[in-house]
């Protein structure tokens, strides 16, 4: 049954079409996935979500990243409730801002200071402002096809943006150091920052791990040309390594952008930076009405502490590995050649020879019908709330989906 034709979701879509452009917009616009996808969601608990028609899903998207401990995690909700009972949006930040900043500086070796904001785009934009203030330069090296947010300078669609807003971006190919060096040469002496995601997680494509030599090369290049190395850890941050996603490589960025999983769904973002950039950061006027609200900061503090205390990364790796192994076995047994890419806790699956993603879309829709919410062309996310039983429940659904796919397309 399509969600577009009957039930509560259909009726909400009909009403939304009148009062919201296109009925919905942005990354949660289900109209751009497949017709199987519901648009409206009613409830979340742990790693399960329920759509507006009451259908339950094992959730492998985690709201596109923010939910890392599971919905309504008690430690986070208790910390948020305790702060809320005192106050949230006040005439100044709460003491919790200092505690959260101290926790992040203690946890993240590249961080000597923190600036808070609300969304990933705030953080990537603010990081570039710090770099520009520090260097007095304008140009920024950006990997071709990378997503760094939805402000006019970075949104993937150029509708409503001007050429001037992107005039100072110079593209380089990810994982290609010679290409990055050529881009730096092209913008010789004018580069304020090199921005990179910790691995290649562009939509519609297989994910690609960073080549450690490339990461080290970017660090050396930034040093050589006097630019800031900015790690956009908005999507991957807190899932790969609590110290920052390039810390295992020994590569420390000058600035890092954080958001998504930082508050387990509460709206918060941050830039962390090195001492050398502290003075430049102080010169900015960068702010927002809700940036210093205390409740999301209390939630973020509880989220980061809980992830540390329960070994959150290891839990996500365990769940991710179980999912990956299960999917690999199912694909083989149904006769499909698939590619599973990305870290196991931020996975994606694509089908061999499926350039148009037709098979992938069909399979994702079938998973949805089987009570597994994942995405046809954007990476998925696991949380620390995904138990073995949850993964097994998801695998029961994906197995049935592979069977449906085989019935339609035959084996590879």
Show contacts with a copy of itself in window 358-397 (CB under 8 A): 373
Distance (Å, rounded) from C-alpha 344 to C-alpha 7?
35
Q: Which stretch binds a copy of itself (CB under 8 A): 102-110, 237-245, 359-367, 392-400?
A: 102-110
DSSP state of 343: -
State the number of binding residues for a copy of itself (CB under 8 A).
111
H or E segment to which residue 291 belongs = none
Task: With beta carbons less than 8 A apart as the criterion, state whether 298 and 96 touch.
Answer: yes
**CA neighbor of 205 nearest in space, from 216, 213, 197:** 197
**41-45 sheet: strands from edge to edge:** 41-45, 48-51, 56-59, 372-373
Binder to a copy of itself among 68, 108, 128, 313 (CB under 8 A)? 128
107 binds a copy of itself (CB under 8 A): no
The residue within the footprint of a copy of itself, chosen from 129, 215, 316, 331 (CB under 8 A), is 129
Residue nearer to a copy of itself on the CB measure, 266 or 363: 266
Q: Distance between CA atoms of 23 and 330, rounded to whole angstroms? A: 37
Q: How far is CA 289 from CA 88, 149, 270, 300, in A?
A: 12, 20, 15, 18
Residue 311 binding a copy of itself, by CB under 8 A: no
The window from 121-129, 198-206, 213-221, 322-330 that contacts a copy of itself (CB under 8 A) reads: 121-129
Among 8, 216, 243, 406, binds a copy of itself (CB under 8 A): 8
**Tokens 């490339």 sit at which residue?**
214
Range 209-268, binding a copy of itself (CB under 8 A) = 234, 259-260, 265-267
Token output for 227:
């630019």
For residue 345, what are its two tokens?
């806790």
Binding status of residue 151 toward a copy of itself by CB under 8 A: yes
Candidate residues 105, 321, 361, 403; the one interacting with a copy of itself per rule CB under 8 A: 105
Out of 4, 28, 75, 406, which residue is the one contacting a copy of itself (CB under 8 A)?
A: 28
Contact (CB, 8 A) for 209 and 347: no
**Token pair recorded at residue 40:** 């409206």
Q: Is 348 in the site for a copy of itself (CB under 8 A)?
A: no
Among 82, 89, 178, 329, binds a copy of itself (CB under 8 A): 89
Contact pick of 7, 10, 12, 181 for a copy of itself (by CB under 8 A): 12
Determine if residue 175 is left, alpha or beta; phi over 0 gives left, psi from -120 to 50 gives alpha, anything else beta.
Answer: left
Which of 7, 51, 219, 330 lies at the binding interface for a copy of itself (CB under 8 A)? 51
Question: Does position 171 bind a copy of itself by CB under 8 A?
Answer: no
* 286 is an interface residue for a copy of itself by CB under 8 A: yes
């Amino acid at each position: 049954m399509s969600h577009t034709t009957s039930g509560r979701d259909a009726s909400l879509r009909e009403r939304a079409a009148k009062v919201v452009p296109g009925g919905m917009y942005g990354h949660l616009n289900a109209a751009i996935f497949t017709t199987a996808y519901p648009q409206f969601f009613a409830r979340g608990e742990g790693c399960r979500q329920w759509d507006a028609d009451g259908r339950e899903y094992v959730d492998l998207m985690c709201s596109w990243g923010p939910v890392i401990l599971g919905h309504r995690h008690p430690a986070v909700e208790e910390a948020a409730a305790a702060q809320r009972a005192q106050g949230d949006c006040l005439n100044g930040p709460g003491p919790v801002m200092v505690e959260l900043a101290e926790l992040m500086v203690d946890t993240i070796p590249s961080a000597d200071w923190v600036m808070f904001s609300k969304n990933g785009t705030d953080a990537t934009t603010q990081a570039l402002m710090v770099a520009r203030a520090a260097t007095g330069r304008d140009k920024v090296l950006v990997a071709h096809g990378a997503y760094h947010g939805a402000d006019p300078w970075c949104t993937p669609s150029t509708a409503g943006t001007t050429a001037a807003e992107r005039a100072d971006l110079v593209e380089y190919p990810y994982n290609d150091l010679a290409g990055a060096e050529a881009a730096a040469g092209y913008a010789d002496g004018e580069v304020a920052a090199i921005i990179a995601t910790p691995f290649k997680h562009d939509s519609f494509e297989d994910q690609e791990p960073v080549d450690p030599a490339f990461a080290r090369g970017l660090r050396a290049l930034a040093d050589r040309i006097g630019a800031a190395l900015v790690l956009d850890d908005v999507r991957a941050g807190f899932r790969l390594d609590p110290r920052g996603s390039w810390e295992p490589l020994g590569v420390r960025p000058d600035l890092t952008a954080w958001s998504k999983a930082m508050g387990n769904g509460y709206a918060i973002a941050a830039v962390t930076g090195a001492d050398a950039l502290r003075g430049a950061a102080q010169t900015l006027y960068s702010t927002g009405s809700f940036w210093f609200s205390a409740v999301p900061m209390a939630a973020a503090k509880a989220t980061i502490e809980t992830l540390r205390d329960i070994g959150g990364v290891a839990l996500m790796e365990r769940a991710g590995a179980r999912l990956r192994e299960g999917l690999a076995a199912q694909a083989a047994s149904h006769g499909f050649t698939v590619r599973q890419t990305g870290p196991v806790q931020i996975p994606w699956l694509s089908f061999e020879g499926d350039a148009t993603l037709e098979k992938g879309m069909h399979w994702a829709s079938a998973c949805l019908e089987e009570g597994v919410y994942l995405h046809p062309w954007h990476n998925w996310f696991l949380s620390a709330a995904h138990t073995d039983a949850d993964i097994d429940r998801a695998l029961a659904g994906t197995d049935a989906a592979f069977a449906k796919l085989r019935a339609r397309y035959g084996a590879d």
